[in-house]
Amino acid sequence: DNGLSYSVQGKMIVISKKEDAGSSITQQKQIIVKGIVKDENGEPVVGANVVEKGTSNGTITDMDGNFSLSISEGSQLSITYIGYLDQNVTVGKGKTVLNIQLREDMQALEEVVVVGYGTMKKSDLTGSISTISAKDFNKGISSTPDQLLSGKIPGLMVNRSSGDPNSSATMQLRGPSSLTASTAPFYVIDGVPGASIDLVSPDDIESMNVLKDASATAIYGSRAANGVIMVTTRKGRTGKPQVHYSGYAAIESVSGRVNVLDAEEHRAFLAEHNMELAASDDGYSTDWQKELTRNLGFSHNHNLSLVGGNENTKYNASVNYQSKQGIVKKSQYEKLTARIGVDQEALNNKLHLSFSLSGSHVNTDHINYSIFNYAARWLPESPIYSDAPEYEQYGGYFQVPGRMTYYNPVALLNQQDDKRYRNTLQGIGKVGWDIIEGLRFDLLGSMQIETTDRSVYYQTTDISVIGKGYAMREFLKDRDKVLEATLNYSKTFHDKHGLKIMAGYSYQNNIMDDGIRGTNDYFTSDVTGSNNLASGNGDQSTHFQDYPLKKEATLVSFFGRINYDFNNRYLLTATLRRDGSSKFGANNKWAMFPSVSLAWRISEEKFMEEQSVFQDLKLRIGYGQSGNQNIDPYTSQRLYGPQSSQFMYNGEWINSYGVSQNPNPDLKWETTAMTNIGLDYTIWEGRVSGTLDFYNKETKDMLYKYNVPSPPYQYNQLLANGASMTNRGVEFMVNVVAVDRPDFSWTTNFNVAYNKNEIGSLDSNVDNLSISERYEGTMYLEGWTAQTVSIVKPGLPIGTFYTYKYMGYDAKQQKTLYENAAGEIVTIDKLKSPDDYQVVGSALPKVTFGWNNTFRYKRWDLNFFLRGVTGNKIFNASRADLSRLTQAAICNISHEAVEDGIMEAPQPSSRWLENGSFLKLDNVTLGYQFDTEKMPGINNLRVYITGQNLFTITKYTGIDPEVSLSGLAPGIDNRNYYPKTRSFLLGVNISF
């Protein structure tokens, strides 16, 4: 007899010390205590230790998190599990059924981070990688995963410049890194590079990892210059089947409108300035913006999932439905996604099989954005409809035929339809084979098919259509195939030397084909709409064309990575990738992308043993190169297309074809080289942790369109490499557990980033092509004759505003004043463009930041999140367009223009530049976690309310300071009137 006893519980053997029969414990009254142990998300914790404190009497939780134990009345239970904080519960009379929730121990939990083609412990990372889990995602209405990250990752700017439910956010990581190609980060979803984000519901995402520096992204080579976002979805888990439902219903209202005069104010202004209304005033008072919008928009989201399995087989399935009713009438977004996955272990866990199938259907209704400009300018004294016979041809809508620059906005809204459908289907298969200990082979195959169908119809009474009515149908099909194989070797030598080697091959092929487009006009009836193009009587009857031409692109890659660590103290990561892309010229299809990074875990040194402040302190330094191939296929080749000229043949006019793109056999990758120095820290027993990073990001061989002589070139532009750009910055993030008590806790995290962008050169290595500067930001406002307000020039950042410098208004002479290039104060007629243009500001924010706070009190939780930017300017072209006081008889004007009192016609200048800094309260969420102890069959129940976009603090006078920051002329608010919304939602999370 060794004094030990054991019991078999499921597949586990619990060994404990025998109790002395004469001990006082046996003499106390014994009671049976039952309960369930869950994590912070309400999921059962399997295998948690439940022990009567001070004894060896204990048990473990089963597959459902349940336990049952006989203990002495009045004693304490200790519940422990790896990665979670210990919890002690006193048991007494009337307290024999327990519902216990464990909280993560952020210090003890060794987080595993998904990196390119593998995973690593967070402590072993040598590159700059930011991780965010589902519990830290932004709350509220979100149709795509990018909105979950807004303001959460230092250096990642997620910009949503429109309130349209069908618009997508633009993203930039550590500043722009291209002049012509896309600057959006590259998505890798469940290991599949370039997978469609449409396939993922935000509710199905478990975590997202943002690879920021080139030492981390170089493993993805030619697609990683803008950063990489690794998305990991929820998988099956061991345990009996569990059903989860999450959903919300939301209402939305307009958060801001264009500040124009109403009918009475407009009449008063005309009377004061002795002006007469261009149209007769019949006493109408129309709020055109209100006529376009709903009083309230309604949105709802529902996600139902099933997970379960055993040690060998795990499965998961989910279905999500989301409907977003735009605040503008007729605009709407509807999406249905479904996913199913199975993971199977075989051959004594040496063979790992995985299969998943995902599909999505997106149905959207779009509107003509011109209606917002028309609504702001259309006279408020005008009616919507008219019974007069002359308006029958317009469907009974009041129109002014001679005023061709803008039309009745309500008429255009109701007389134009633009419906789009997008279907995506993806299958993923994975095979993993543990060949021998430490050596594993993985194979991944994926096939994705996406089809889009668009239907456009403008009614026969639409005044904006030259032909009587217009119809268009368009169908496109896109196929994407991925095949990747990797071989991983892992070995630890003499307990100090850790070595991991990975080698891989990747093949990706994309084909866009089966494209067709048909159009027609001059319809006699609106009955069939776009469903019968042949019913139109256009000059060319029904026009069909391959649209666009069939496109195919292939990327072949070989890559490898070595990880070495010595004594868990000194870490090395080196990667090398060789990419070959069909998109580039015959002379430059292949490129090499290397990286190397080092890390020193200072906290593991002997001289740190006596200190108690730092639990972790790691210094990182890395350098790497990555590329950008976000261009269309065939960009390097000579293309032919229809020309504007025609010729007569056999009595018919025939379209001519000619060269529409010059070939460039030397076209190659844009290459970004980045140096990163970083520091990771954890102090005060894990209460404070964070990162600090400094980076220098240099992009060369950027693609740019150069004007070339014709002849010898057959077309007047050539896309070539040559331009360069730098981004330098610093990022800081801190996470703080400010208060941590059993009944109350407060956690807060703050991130801030600074970035400085600068264009280096615009010269090309092809035919000595050179550009000293290029004007961008063309304005097409009335009377501005395509004048520009931005410049692309070496030594300046992207988005530099370059226009006349406004100096004020001379009320006596009723003239606006400006400074010319010589520094003299002159009137507008003395200025010459572009000789008198000056640098007057920059559109790119210098600093971005986000601040998140979570409070928990017993079963209540409160979260609020703020974010903002500073150091940028916005060119408010919308305000300029509404400042034409002398035209008040034919169009509306703004209150700001009336207050300014400047009768002179507006001119492009720094007068319209405004401070673009802002602070937004993006989200506030209040939730309550129910005690499900007396709710049979329910494992978790939480309800919450959320307010979104609650307020904005800014000096900007437009409807919202969050304007577009993409392209060569960012920061221009050019009549972007689609209203932003303020939303309130009620949601529930429940598990069975």
Tell me the pLDDT tens digit for each residue of 691-718: 999 999 999 999 888 889 888 889 989 9
Residue type, 735: N
What does the alpha-carbon distance between residue 291 and residue 409 come to, in Å, rounded to a whole number?
A: 9
Q: What is the 3-state secondary structure (H, E, C) of 211-265?
A: ECCHHHHHHHHHHCCCCEEEEEECCCCCEEEEEEEEEEEEEEEECCCCCECCHHH
Q: Name the one residue in this structure whose structure tokens are 């048991």.
A: 91
CA separation, residue 778 to residues 21, 774, 796, 841, 908 (Å): 91, 11, 18, 17, 10
- Please state which of the four CATH numbers 2.60.40.1120, 3.40.50.880, 3.40.50.300, 1.20.59.20 is assigned to the domain occupying 4-101: 2.60.40.1120
Band of the pLDDT at 108, cuts 50, 70, 90?
Answer: very low
Mean pLDDT of all residues in the chain? 88
Structure confidence at residue 314 (pLDDT): 94
Residue closest to 224 by CA, chosen among 125, 115, 111, 113: 115
Half-sphere exposure of 417 (CA within 13 A, CB side): 17
Band of the pLDDT at 11, cuts 50, 70, 90?
Answer: very low
Mean pLDDT of 147-158: 87
Burial of residue 725, with CB atoms counted within 10 A of its CB: 0-12 exposed, 13-18 middle, 19 or more buried: buried
Percent of the chain whose predicted confidence (pLDDT) is above 90: 56
**CATH architecture of the domain with range 112-239:** Beta Complex (2.170)
pLDDT, one tens digit per residue, over 52-83 is 887 878 888 877 788 888 888 888 888 888 76
What does the alpha-carbon distance between residue 859 and residue 745 come to, in Å, rounded to a whole number?
A: 11
When mean pLDDT is compared across 50-59, 573-582, 671-680, the lowest value belongs to 50-59
Structure confidence at residue 419 (pLDDT): 96
Band of the pLDDT at 106, cuts 50, 70, 90?
Answer: low
What residues have CB less than 8 Å from 488, skipping those under 6 apart? Answer: 118, 439, 440, 441, 442, 500, 501, 502
Mean pLDDT of 891-920: 95
Band of the pLDDT at 17, cuts 50, 70, 90?
Answer: low
Structure confidence at residue 121 (pLDDT): 82
What does the alpha-carbon distance between residue 804 and residue 206 come to, in Å, rounded to a whole number?
A: 51
Burial of residue 822, with CB atoms counted within 10 A of its CB: 0-12 exposed, 13-18 middle, 19 or more buried: exposed
**pLDDT above 50 (res 25):** no
pLDDT, one tens digit per residue, over 383-430 is 999 999 999 999 999 998 666 567 999 999 999 999 999 999 999 999
Residue closest to 326 by CA, chosen among 883, 978, 959: 978
Structure confidence at residue 539 (pLDDT): 59
Q: Is the peptide bond before 165 cis (omega within 30 degrees of 0)?
A: no
**pLDDT above 60 (res 23):** no
* Backbone φ, ψ for residue 264 (5° rounding): -65, -40
Four-point Cα dihedral 192, 193, 196, 202, nearest 10: 70
What does the alpha-carbon distance between residue 806 and residue 808 come to, in Å, rounded to a whole number?
A: 6
Does 937 or 986 have the greater pLDDT score?
986
Residue type, 185: P
Structure confidence at residue 921 (pLDDT): 96
Count the neighbouring beta carbons within 10 Å of the beta carbon of residue 112: 13
Structure confidence at residue 160 (pLDDT): 84
Band of the pLDDT at 13, cuts 50, 70, 90?
Answer: low
What does the alpha-carbon distance between residue 600 and residue 622 come to, in Å, rounded to a whole number?
A: 12
What residues have CB less than 8 Å from 215, skipping those under 6 apart? Answer: 126, 127, 128, 573, 575, 595, 596, 597, 622, 623, 624, 674, 676
Residue closest to 79 by CA, chosen among 96, 63, 98: 98
pLDDT, one tens digit per residue, over 28-53 is 678 888 888 888 777 788 778 888 88
Which CATH class, in words, describes the domain spanning 247-991?
Answer: mainly beta
The segment(s) of the chain belonging to CATH 2.170.130.10 are: 112-239
H/E stretch holding 373: helix 370-377
**pLDDT above 60 (res 551):** yes
Structure confidence at residue 548 (pLDDT): 52
**pLDDT above 80 (res 187):** yes
Q: Is the peptide bond before 834 cis (omega within 30 degrees of 0)?
A: yes
DSSP SS3 for 123: helix
**What is the 3-state composition of the chain as percent helix, strand, coil, each rounded to the nearest 5?**
10, 55, 35
512 and 521 Cβ atoms separated by less than 8 Å: no
Does 565 or 976 have the greater pLDDT score?
565
Band of the pLDDT at 26, cuts 50, 70, 90?
Answer: very low
**pLDDT above 80 (res 280):** no
- The β-bridge relationship of strands 639-649 and 652-661 is antiparallel
pTM: 0.86
Structural tokens at position 849: 């930041």
Mean pLDDT of 122-133: 86
Give the rounded distance of the alpha carbon of 492 from its chain centre.
Answer: 40
CA separation, residue 898 to residues 268, 587, 889, 892 (Å): 11, 61, 14, 11
Q: Is the peptide bond before 389 cis (omega within 30 degrees of 0)?
A: no
* Backbone φ, ψ for residue 374 (5° rounding): -65, -40
Structure confidence at residue 944 (pLDDT): 96
When mean pLDDT is compared across 172-181, 680-689, 750-759, 861-870, the lowest value belongs to 172-181
**pLDDT above 80 (res 295):** yes
The segment(s) of the chain belonging to CATH 2.40.170.20 are: 247-991
Give the rounded distance of the alpha carbon of 943 from its chain centre.
Answer: 26
